[in-house]
Structure 1
Amino acid sequence: MTQKRQNRPRATKKLWLDAAIELLIKTGADGVKIMPLAERLGLTRTGFYHHFRDRDALLDAMIERWERKNSGNLVAQCDLYAETICEAMFNLQDCWFQSKLFDAQLDRAIRNWADHDRKLKARVDAADAKRKTAIQGMFERFGYPPTDAEIRTMTILFTQVGYIAMEIKEDHAARVNRVPLYVELFTGKTPTKHEISRFRARNGY
């Protein structure tokens, strides 16, 4: 009995939430239930209620994490200091390469869930509006006219949403090598060798 207790994970709120998100990605929102989570973690159902009022509170916590991590970090990356629009675009591209900034699987799972949940769809729409405002604002800071900035922004957002929805699998090195071409396509400017090398270095290349 003592050994089993020692092997159990510490029952933190984050532990429950992490496991719930794994289930969401794997099974969808309908599969996120308290008992399967407890069994998955080797914990008791009672322990769940020390951290969450009920299942609805857990579901809301998952959505809040998605809003904070994916949309929050995307907006923050757009707001980072940059001397050129290419440097700013590379900052945004970091989201697609650093899981600490953006969880693509979670983004897809939330969008799939929102297809069947009107309230969540409203939150997804609001998050997309924030992302759009942040990216468009980034372009406008560098002198792009509003209409031009908006079209470039929608191209970026629709490209990435489609990339995630289609579950594109590609060699990481090849994907990194293509980013400067995407940056040039999205901005209409050619990035410098220094800008490219800094992007590659912070993303492991």
Structure 2
Amino acid sequence: MPTVKVTRDDWLRGAQRALAESGVSGVSVEPIAKQLGVTRGSFYWYFKDREALLVGALELWESEETIGFIEELAPIAEPLARLQTLFREALTGDLIAGLEPAIVAHASDPVVRVVLERVTTRRLDYLTDLFAQLGLDPAAARRQAVATYAAYLGWIELRRAAPDIAPETKGSGPLVEPALDHLLRLLTP
């Protein structure tokens, strides 16, 4: 019987899926090992304990969904085009469905809180800078950034909680584009 080779990244993705499906308590070594088709012993090649797995999964989310995402937008010179691209991509894509709402829902967990605070700070600072580049004074740019980020969080939570009631929030389709266009008009100066 062939041996299954599982990487650190496989464990991190498994932890992210567990977090999206069951919250922080769902990030448990035994079920993730079963999902990956390996024994729990392979876990210890990569992680000291369950908390290290959770931290790694959260840091991977931070790296891909904030740091990497912002870097991908850098080549777009025009701030409005960058903002529109950011918002469209953020609202229509999910690396792992429900991951971000699950992370936000567990903001009181001390491990989650540290990463979530870093991500929120970085995202709000980035949005504030974009709105300042669009001509808003610093205080107005910050207010607009907070309102925009709140709209983003509401959209992804609505997509997670009620996708059939609000099909305008579901990835792509004939209802999504007009809803996104409307939201962008409301949120951009």
- What is the TM-score when the length of structure 2 is the normalising length? 0.83
Aligned to 1:139: 131
* Equivalent residue for 1:91, pick from 77, 81, 85: 85
Paired residues of 2:47 and 2:53 also in contact (CA < 8 A): yes
Aligned counterpart for 2:17 among listed residues 22, 47, 50 = 22
Counterpart CA distance in 1 for 2:149 and 2:46 is 35
Q: Which residue among 112, 117, 139 is the counterpart of 1:120?
A: 112
Output one character per residue of 1:90-143: Cα deviation in whole Å (capped at 9) or x when no partner. Answer: 22122222335xx5621111122222x135324312321111110110111222
Task: Tell me which amino acid in the other structure corresponds to 1:88.
Answer: R
Please give the alpha-carbon distance, in whole angstroms, between the structure 2 residues aligned to 1:52 and 1:95. 30
* Sequence identity percentage: 24
Using the size of structure 1 for normalisation, the TM-score is: 0.77
Distance (whole Å) between structure 2 residues aligned to residue 51 and residue 119 of structure 1: 18
1:181 alignment partner AA = H
- Partner of 2:106, secondary structure, is helix
Count of aligned pairs: 179
Distance 1:158 1:14, change over 3 A: same
RMSD after superposition: 2.2
Relative distance call for 1:178 and 1:53 in structure 2 (3 A) is: same
Counterpart-to-counterpart distance in 1, 2:75 and 2:97? 21
Mapped partners of 1:148, 1:114: distance in 2: 27
Pairing partner for 1:110 from 100, 103, 127:
103
1-structure distance, mates of 2:76, 2:119: 22
Among residues 151, 156, 167, which one is paired with 1:164 in the alignment? 156
Call closer, same or farther: CA 1:126–1:14 in 2, change over 3 Å.
closer
Kindly tell me: are residues 77 and 155 of structure 1, through their superposed partners in 2, closer, same or farther at Cα, counting changes over 3 Å?
farther
Is 1:59 the counterpart of 2:54? The answer is yes
Partner of residue 122 from structure 2, selected from 109, 124, 130: 130
Q: Distance in 2 between matches of 1:138 and 1:84?
A: 6
Given that 2:144 and 2:187 are in contact with CA atoms closer than 8 Å, whether structure 1 keeps it comes out as: yes
Instruction: Tell me which residue corresponds to 2:5.
Output: 10
- Would the aligned equivalents of 1:24 and 1:32 in 2 still touch at CA under 8 Å? yes
In the TM superposition, what is the alpha-carbon distance from 1:24 to its structure 2 partner?
A: 1.2
SS, match of residue 46 in structure 2: coil
The structure that has the greater radius of gyration is 1
> Which consecutive residues of structure 1, in runs of 5 or more, have no partner in the other structure?
189-205
Gaps of 5+ in 2: none
User: Contact conserved, 2:28 with 2:50, CA < 8 A, in 1?
Assistant: yes
Which residue type is aligned with residue 65 of structure 2? Answer: N
Assess, with a 3 A threshold, how the Cα gap between structure 1 residues 95 and 143 changes in structure 2: closer, same or farther: same
